[in-house]
Amino acid sequence: MNANILVLPGDGIGPEVTAAAVSVLRAIAKRYGHDFHFEEKLIGGAAIDATGEPLPQATLDAARRADAVLLGAVGGPKWSDPKAKVRPEQGLLAIRKALGLYANLRPVTPHPATLGASPIKPHLLNGVDLMVVRELTGGIYFGDKTRDADTASDLCRYSAAEIERVVRRACTLARARRGKVTSVDKANVLETSRLWRETTERVVREEFPDIELEHQLVDSMAMHLLAKPREYDVIVTENMFGDILTDEASMLAGSLGLLPSASLGDDRVGIYEPIHGSAPDIAGKGIANPFATILSAAMLLRHSLGLEREATCIEQAVGKALDAGVLTADLAPAGRGVRTADATRAVLEQLEADC
Ligand code: ATP
Ligand code: MG
């Protein structure tokens, strides 16, 4: 298959972890006879330094031409002056919006070798395999805001169409998994949540009668996610609840350095990135964990290119590297821990051996 992959390394450890993931994608292309073409552009702080803008037009044009986008991370202390007019994070929001990406997928599958790194007891984590689908373009983050000296407001707004499309995406994912969807809202107090619940019920009844649907209020969901995470398959929720629950869910896996994400819309192009930030404290040291970005590349193959076999192959290679004790500093006992390049090489060797 031919594919154009746009790489946006961004800031901090972004260039280090995207380089690792690109080397894995190149190995996959070689192994399976694909022709991947990589183009690299600027975003975030690096783009502000070079052009004055966090999302230069050339980057957006390249994204529109691409089949998929692999992103590192944006931001860092250099650009975090609260009075600054342009900020790196604006680049990320703008590109997601321009590409119409409304569903943010975050799988959480704690690996046996890293259970000890999570603050949750290992026996609760064994067998956890869940996927949070967060609505990404609506809700209170994007509603009208008002402010005077001592009063402020943020409007939370959702349309049925916005809810339908993300629920469809969650149900389609659940069909390929264990067939269960947990929809999270606050329908006992919020009108947007009542619309969310009614719409979800209708979409499942009319289009996905085979899906087992349950509703949870967001407050009890926050508790259940830690108390019985094994019970969940796909969790779908609105923007702000998803923001909070996905950070909570990340703790199940032990390290930010292991968690990938995908942002998808109706077209095949998506943005794939680790959930961690630019980690300025370790940038340039060659010790960042590349696995979250390598696993994001696996999601890219699955969701934008339809290459399921190749995606699974990468996921298994990362799993085997972890099994073999290939742990970067975020996962290893203090003072031990392999470097980014060693961890990447371990994955490449597993690919070579098994795929
Ligand atoms: P952002 O606001 O951009 O999301 P953040 O404040 O959430 O950033 P991160 O940049 O994600 O913070 O870093 C949080 C901590 O996790 C830091 O100590 C960082 O070094 C560590 N960290 C993040 N990603 C990795 C990684 N891939 N490998 C190792 N450590 C990491
Ligand atoms: Mg963060």
Residues designated as active site: 141, 186, 219, 243, 247
In this prediction, residue 262 carries a pLDDT of 98
Contact 257/328 with Cβ under 8 angstroms? yes
User: What confidence tens digit (pLDDT) does each residue in 264-282 have?
Assistant: 999 989 999 999 999 999 9
The rounded mean pLDDT for the chain is 96
CA–centroid distance, 278 to ligand 1, in Å, is 6
In this prediction, residue 82 carries a pLDDT of 81
Residue whose CA is at the smallest distance from ligand 1 atom 15 = 279
> Binding site annotation covers 281?
yes
In this prediction, residue 319 has a pLDDT band, given cuts at 50, 70 and 90, of: very high
Last residue within a domain, chosen from 253, 274, 293: 253
Q: What is the DSSP letter of 43?
A: -
> Binding site annotation covers 267?
no
> Binding site annotation covers 41?
no
Same domain, 99 and 143: no
Strand pairing partners for 131? 107, 234
Same domain, 78 and 24: yes
Same domain, 149 and 51: no
**Residue 113 maps to a domain:** no
In this prediction, residue 1 carries a pLDDT of 93
* Closest ligand relative to 11 C-alpha: 1
* Closest ligand relative to 117 C-alpha: 1
**Which CATH number do you get for residue 244?**
3.40.718.10
Same domain, 188 and 290: no
Same domain, 128 and 235: yes
CA–centroid distance, 255 to ligand 1, in Å, is 9
* Closest ligand relative to 332 C-alpha: 1
Contact 21/70 with Cβ under 8 angstroms? yes
CA–centroid distance, 247 to ligand 2, in Å, is 8
Statement: residue 335 has pLDDT above 90:
no
Same domain, 260 and 249: no
- Kindly report the three-state secondary structure assignment for every residue of 266-309: CCCCEEEEECCCCCCCCCCCCCCCCHHHHHHHHHHHHHCCCCHH
In a mutational test of the pocket of ligand 1, which residue from 17, 78, 247, 276 has the highest number of ligand atoms less than 8 Å from its CB?
Answer: 276
Around ion ligand 2, residues with a beta carbon closer than 5 Å are 277
Residue whose CA is at the smallest distance from ligand 1 atom 13 = 279
Kindly list the protein residues whose Cβ atom lies closer than 6 A to any atom of ligand 1: 13, 17, 73, 75, 256-257, 276-279, 281-282, 288-289, 292, 328, 330
The pair phi, psi for residue 114, each rounded to 5°, is -120, 10
Statement: residue 235 has pLDDT above 90:
yes
- What is the extent of the structural domain holding 246? 119-253
CA–centroid distance, 297 to ligand 2, in Å, is 20
In this prediction, residue 254 has a pLDDT band, given cuts at 50, 70 and 90, of: confident
Residue whose CA is at the smallest distance from ligand 1 atom 21 = 279
Q: What is the dihedral of CA 213, 126, 292, 6, to 10 degrees?
A: -40
Statement: residue 355 has pLDDT above 90:
no
How many domains is the chain partitioned into structurally? 2
